Structure formats: C-alpha cells, structure tokens
C-alpha cells in the first residue's frame, strides 16, 4: 500500500528539520558567546538611562517646567553635540545587540524547553526583540539626522489608523494592547516577578533593589495604561489629531486636580526603574 499524502508531508518536514538542525546549532553557539551577552547588557544599560531621563523630565513637568517625557525626547537629550552623536550610535549598537539577544531567546535558546514554556518564551522575547529593534532604529534616526517628534509620530499613526474602514476598532485594539502591557508591568511589579532576573535579592542590597523594582515596574505600567487610555479616547472620539504618546499621556495628568503629584510619583518611579535597569544590566542573569 502506498504512503498517504500526509505521510509524505511528514517525512518531507522531517528532512527539512534535520537539514536545519546544524544551522540552528550554529546560531545557538553564536548566541551563547560572551560578546553578544556583553552587548545585550550594554543595551539594558541604555534603556535604563532612557528611563532615568524620562523620569527627570516628568518630575520637571510636575514642578512646572517643560520638556518631552518620552523616548524621542530622552534620545534628543543624549544627541546634543559631537559626543552626543557618538552616544546615540552606541545606543543603536546596544539596542540592536539586545534585540538579537532577545531573538535568540525566542528561537534557538528555547529549543530544549518544554513546549508550553517555549511558546511563552517565543511570544514574550519575540515581542521584546521587535521593541528593541524599533528603539535601535529610533537611535539611528537621531544619529543620521535631526530625529523625529514622538508625539507627532503617534498623531500620524492615529490618523492613519482612523482612515481605515474599521480604524476605530483598530486604534481601540492598539489602546487595549498597550494598556494590557501596562497591566502586565503593574502585576510584574506587585508580585515581584522580576526577581528571577537578578541574583542577590536575599541580601540587604537586594532588598533595596527589590523595592526599586516594584516601584519602577508599577510606575511604568501606570504610564503605559494612560497611553492606552488616550489611544482609546482618540478612537472613540474619532479624533486623529489627539496626541496619544507617552509625553501626551503624562502631560494630560497636569489637567487633573492632583495630577502634578501623580506625575511626580510616576517620574520617581521611572527613575527607580532606570536604577533597577542599570543593576539588571550589571548583575542580571543572561
């Protein structure tokens, strides 16, 4: 009796998998090098620095000052002068290295894990790889030119989304997704799910870092929830000109009676997240 079409497809898939196995082994060997780990740690340090700068601007806004409390504003601060251009290119390298490291976590490094863990790792690390790639390209944008305004970019995105026939649902979905990431950060902070990332949380020093991790993750989560809410408001009002980025979300707090105090706490939280990130870059598990 001849083999069925399904059997032939399975054998063909098996041969393809066997052929790709040496490639995957080689990729895993490259991903396990100290060089990639070192660049990824540098990428963590760069993102930590951005959190520190955003937190400083948020506190400045709460005290009546000015500034752009978002990633583009933080990178623009770094990009001042010739030393700044060098720093921005270094940021690009670090974030691209971190993106590649996360990609390896999502693929070749997770091959031996149980299926459920492998799928979860593939989703989370894969998403982070995309995030850090976008961040690296933002650094590159500032390195080769004047950069871009983040609030203007989000307005453009909102307008483009609302031009689609189902744009309201699309933009609402983006808002829900961003707010969902914010909820994840809040839960991660409150339940201290960041602890496996570090190695010395059983010491006095670890207790301080533990507190920084809680406040930093919760503050970042709240900020992302606010961004998601603004996306939702823009969708419901069908207002493509409404700013929907992080800077607009934080500045919207100033319109509330006690918003400046909330904004100040969020700013402190971002600074705590930045300090936590620096410690993560130095001592975190890779």
The 10s digit of each residue's pLDDT in 95-125 is 999 999 888 888 876 666 667 777 877 777 8
φ, ψ (nearest 5 deg) of residue 257: -55, -45
Tokens describing residue 196: 């496996």
DSSP 161-190: HHTSTTHHHHHHHHHHHHHHHHHHHHHHHH
Q: Concatenated DSSP letters for 107-122?
A: TGGGTTS-HHHHHHHH
Contact 244, 158 (CB under 8 A): yes
Q: What angle do CA 208, 211, 216 make, to 5 degrees?
A: 125
Distance CA 270, CA 276 (A): 10
| pLDDT tens digits, 126-177 | 888 888 898 898 888 888 866 555 555 554 556 666 666 676 787 788 788 8
Average pLDDT, the chain: 78
If you average pLDDT over residues 11-26, what whole number do you get? 49
Residue 53: pLDDT band by 50, 70, 90 thresholds?
Answer: very high
pTM recorded for the entire structure: 0.78
Cα–Cα distance measured from residue 276 to residue 219, given in angstroms and rounded to the nearest whole number: 13
Each residue of 228-277: pLDDT tens digit?
A: 888 787 777 766 665 567 888 888 888 888 889 989 999 999 999 999 89
pLDDT of residue 16: 47
**20 HSE (CA, 13 A, CB side):** 9
Q: What is the pLDDT of residue 241?
A: 61
How far apart are alpha carbons 174 and 228 in whole angstroms? 7
């Amino acid at each position: 009796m001849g083999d069925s079409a399904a059997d032939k497809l399975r054998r063909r898939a098996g041969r393809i998998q066997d052929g790709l196995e040496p490639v995957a082994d080689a990729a895993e060997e490259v991903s396990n090098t100290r060089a990639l780990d070192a660049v990824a740690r540098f990428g963590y340090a760069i993102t930590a620095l951005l959190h520190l700068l955003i937190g400083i601007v948020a506190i400045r806004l709460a005290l009546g000052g000015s500034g752009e409390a978002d990633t583009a504003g933080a990178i623009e601060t770094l990009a001042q002068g010739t030393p700044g251009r060098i720093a921005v290119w270094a940021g690009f390298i670090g974030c691209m290295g971190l993106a590649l490291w996360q990609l390896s976590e999502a693929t070749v490094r997770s091959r031996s894990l149980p299926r459920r863990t492998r799928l979860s790792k593939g989703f989370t690390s894969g998403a982070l790889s995309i995030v850090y790639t976008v961040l690296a390209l933002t650094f590159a944008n500032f390195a080769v030119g004047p950069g871009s305004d983040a609030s203007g970019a989000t307005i453009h995105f909102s307008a483009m989304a609302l031009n689609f026939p189902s744009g309201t649902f699309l933009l609402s979905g983006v808002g829900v997704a961003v707010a969902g990431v914010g909820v994840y950060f809040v839960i991660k902070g409150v339940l201290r799910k960041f602890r496996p990332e570090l190695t010395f949380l059983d010491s006095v020093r670890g207790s301080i870092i533990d507190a920084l991790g809680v406040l930093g993750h919760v503050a970042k989560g709240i900020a992302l929830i606010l961004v998601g809410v603004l996306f939702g408001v823009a969708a419901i009002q069908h207002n493509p000109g409404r700013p929907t980025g992080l800077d607009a979300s934080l500045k919207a707090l100033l319109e509330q009676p006690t918003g400046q105090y909330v904004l100040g706490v969020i700013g402190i939280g971002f600074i705590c997240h930045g300090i936590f990130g620096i410690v993560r870059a130095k001592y975190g598990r890779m």
